[in-house]
Amino acid sequence: MESFNLPKISIPPLPLPESVQRVLQEAKEKLAHRPKLARLFANCFPNTLETTAKLMDDGTTFIITGDIPASWLRDSVEQVMHYVPLAKDDPQLQRILSGLIKRQMQYIRIDPYANAFNESENDWHWNAADETDMSAWVWERKFEIDSLCFPVRLAYAYWRETGLTDIFDAGFKQTMRLIVDVFKTEQRHFESSPYRFQRDSGIREDTLGNNGLGMPVNYTGMVWSGFRSSDDACDFHYNIPGNMFAVVALRHMQEFAEWIFRDQALVKELKTLAADIEHGIKLYGIYRHPEFGPIYAYETDGYGNHCLMDDAGTPGLLSIPYLGYVSAEDPIYQNTRRFALSKENPFYYEGTAARGIGSPHTPEKYIWPMALSMQGLTATTKEEKLAMIAMLEASDADTGYMHEGFHADDPSRFTRSWFAWSNSLFARLVYEAMEDEII
């Protein structure tokens, strides 16, 4: 089942870096006893490089999501994160990753409120009639707090893995400044923000009410977000996992400011902002659930209202330790995890073929393979990791790839046959299981 009728672009496959080829050969040997899983890994691990990545003449890298001819700041990072551990001694992979970081920083400087961008200034848009301050570079302008965090996550992981500092130019520091300014502005959205967004599509989740401002919020110290990582509108505009991600990104930027740019005033500013957001999370983002005890809410408005759910997208509640905010053993996270993987979560589905978390972004009872992969990546036991791999292996509808969502009773009913982020997250789970020698 496909949902899109979009402009098409053709991206020739990149030659696979030697480190990626070595992993594929290793997997061929280690997974020989499970032919279907071996085929899935062989397809999914290189999928981003073979179908979505393009090296640009200016030294940057452009990466589309798959069946949509645009680059999401969030998706493009997650499409390549499983390659980062291979990059230390592979110049070809370094070129791809550093080029993506540089392009993402350029995109944020073009418009820090946009979530997805075009390859060029071609004026392509998801919806040309959106009421917002649109640029010809911008595919979609839904402000999602995580869009400013993911490029920082990739830059940090790249730097720590390779030790290379070529990405940290004047433009990078300018982008850091812009991210901080937007976070500060959106701490007081109604008083200070220029951002508005309305879309007349007839879909409530696609637009912001209140003349494009969103629902009222109280000051909490957290950062306002118009939309979730699913690109659906927030119910209450302080998204808790998104704000946790902002705290982590600000901590990463503190290290950049201290060790790369030697700017102590910026270090202090970043620490203060991170502390303000974290204080807000602890004051407003924890809900005392009658069954599970204290859990992290998905969203709040700062007036005492909470949205209790989890969505398959990252950042979500399940992915909190994956993002680096707390460990998987954190007691409140463990309570939250039990909630998210229960029927108390309105988007947790159980069927005859699988059980897991879906999203209001897809039809009812559709489970997202990304959520199953994330459940495996954040599991604390090898039994749960292996169970998730087995469920993913059994639910690909014999296509050899992961999808956006599939019906809990019938995996042959699925959305998006070409969704590179889902392929990459699955490949990361299997690769980690191989490295841990549990598979």
- Helices 240-255 & 170-187 angle (0-180, nearest 10): 140
Residue 2 lies in a domain: no
Q: Would the pLDDT of 1 be above 90?
A: no
What mean pLDDT, rounded, does the chain reach? 97
What is the structure's pLDDT at 5? Answer: 63
The tokens for 263 are 């700017």
Structural domain harbouring 114: 18-435
The residues, ordered by sequence, that sit 6+ positions from 97 with a Cβ below 8 Å of its Cβ are 61, 80, 83, 84, 87, 154, 158
Residue 259 lies in a domain: yes
Residue 319 lies in a domain: yes
Q: Specify burial of residue 367 (Cβ count, 10 A radius: 0-12, 13-18, 19+).
A: buried
Do residues 116 and 138 lie in contact, with contact meaning Cβ atoms separated by under 8 Å?
A: yes
Residue 7 lies in a domain: no
Quick: pLDDT tens for 203-249: 999 999 999 999 999 999 999 999 999 999 999 999 999 999 999 99
What is the structure's pLDDT at 7? Answer: 78
User: Dihedral of the CA atoms 112, 118, 124, 130 (nearest 10)?
Assistant: -20
Q: Would the pLDDT of 4 be above 70?
A: no
Residue 6 lies in a domain: no
DSSP letter, residue 164 = -
Domain containing 375 — which CATH number?
1.50.10.10
Residue 12 lies in a domain: no
Total domains present in the chain: 1
pTM of the shown model: 0.97
The residues, ordered by sequence, that sit 6+ positions from 327 with a Cβ below 8 Å of its Cβ are 321, 333
User: Where residue 8 falls among pLDDT bands split at 50, 70, 90?
Assistant: confident
Residue 8 lies in a domain: no
What is the structure's pLDDT at 6? Answer: 74
Quick: pLDDT tens for 22-52: 999 999 999 999 999 999 999 999 999 999 9
Backbone angles phi, psi at 294, to 5 degrees: -65, 125
Q: Would the pLDDT of 2 be above 70?
A: no
The residues, ordered by sequence, that sit 6+ positions from 28 with a Cβ below 8 Å of its Cβ are 38, 42
Residue 229 lies in a domain: yes
Quick: pLDDT tens for 94-131: 999 999 999 999 999 999 999 999 999 999 999 999 99
What does the DSSP assignment read for 50-117?
Answer: HHTEEE-TTS-EEE--BSSSSEEHHHHHHTTGGGGGG-TT-HHHHHHHHHHHHHHHHHHHH-TT-SEE
